[in-house]
Amino acid sequence: MKKVTILGIFCSLFTFANCYAADIEAGKGTAAICAGCHGADGHAMNPEWPNLAGQNVKYIENQLKNFQNGNRKNDMMTPVAQSLDAEAVANVAAYFSSLK
């Protein structure tokens, strides 16, 4: 009986993790709103704006969350970040992180 419980917990955790796996293709679609400043390929044309291609997933997620909760403020980024739900944030971060 103990093995069944442990197996059940493991399967539940595995399923939960897969439910929230980032979708790079969905992130690519959402990232279209980022292309004007950060480039379609994640390489910004303006040196004032950061390149997002190849950035660490957690870094991108954290920065977007900081714009969402007001820890970072920027007239252009704050409303864009606030328009994204948690799934979109994860997807966009995964997309930009996957680029070279």
Q: How much is the pLDDT for 20?
A: 61
What whole-number distance in Å separates Cα of residue 5 and Cα of residue 36? 51
Q: How much is the pLDDT for 15?
A: 43
Question: pLDDT tens for residues 32-89?
Answer: 999 999 999 999 999 999 999 999 999 999 999 999 999 999 999 999 999 999 999 9
Q: Is the pLDDT of residue 1 over 60?
A: no
Q: How much is the pLDDT for 36?
A: 95
Kindly indicate whether the domain formed by 23-98 is annotated with CATH number 1.10.760.10.
Answer: yes
Q: How much is the pLDDT for 66?
A: 98
What whole-number distance in Å separates Cα of residue 85 and Cα of residue 61? 11
Sign of CA dihedral 32, 38, 40, 46: positive
Q: How much is the pLDDT for 5?
A: 54
Q: Is the pLDDT of residue 29 over 60?
A: yes
Q: Is the pLDDT of residue 10 over 80?
A: no
